[in-house]
Amino acid sequence: APAEGTAPALYALLESALGIEHAHTIATAHPALRGIALGEADLRADLGVREDAGLEWPRSRVVVAARAAGLPPPTQSVHLDTRDLKGLAASCAHGRALGFLGRAAIHPRQLPIIERAYLPTPEEIEQAETVVKAATRERGAQALEDGTFIDAA
């Protein structure tokens, strides 16, 4: 339970066109707010969107609003078809590429797919270790052996 006089952690679901329009305002509305995310089923209905392509901008908008507000990257909305594990995997990969970090699930069979999609691959871990080692040896911008440019960002 929260301490006397403190609010519990809050998470806002943006489920309407108006919510998307005010994403940053909502993300900064209260100090107890710990994250924002999309409620895609309700948002689809509000926008009259039938295809995922119609949600690309709201998805990107919620990622940008969360980060601009100093919040962690949002989690993806649930994948409603609990039997479409291939579709779930593809959707998770796309969400990860857009900047989401994790996903809500509505069925236990979805959990291994979501976990696999969001955990770093061995190649990503190796690349991160290479970057950390290089940054430890030499400060500032530099090119790695594979030609990748790195700097403080």
pLDDT tens digits, 27-39:
999 999 999 999 9
List pLDDT tens digits, range 91-136: 999 999 999 999 999 999 999 999 999 999 999 898 888 888 887 7
**Same domain flag for 86 and 34:** yes
Counted domains in the chain: 2
3, containing H or E segment: none
State the average pLDDT over residues 71-98.
97
Residue 133 is given by DSSP the state H
Residue 138 sits in which domain range? Answer: 120-153
Apex 70 CA angle, 125 and 76, nearest 5: 60
User: pTM for the whole thing?
Assistant: 0.83
**Contact residues for 44 (Cβ-Cβ < 8 A; gap 6+):** 50, 54, 55
Task: Look at residue 103 and tell me if it is in a domain.
Answer: yes
**Same domain flag for 36 and 103:** yes
**Same domain flag for 69 and 49:** yes
Task: Look at residue 70 and tell me if it is in a domain.
Answer: yes
Burial of 94 (0-12, 13-18, 19+ CB in 10 A): middle
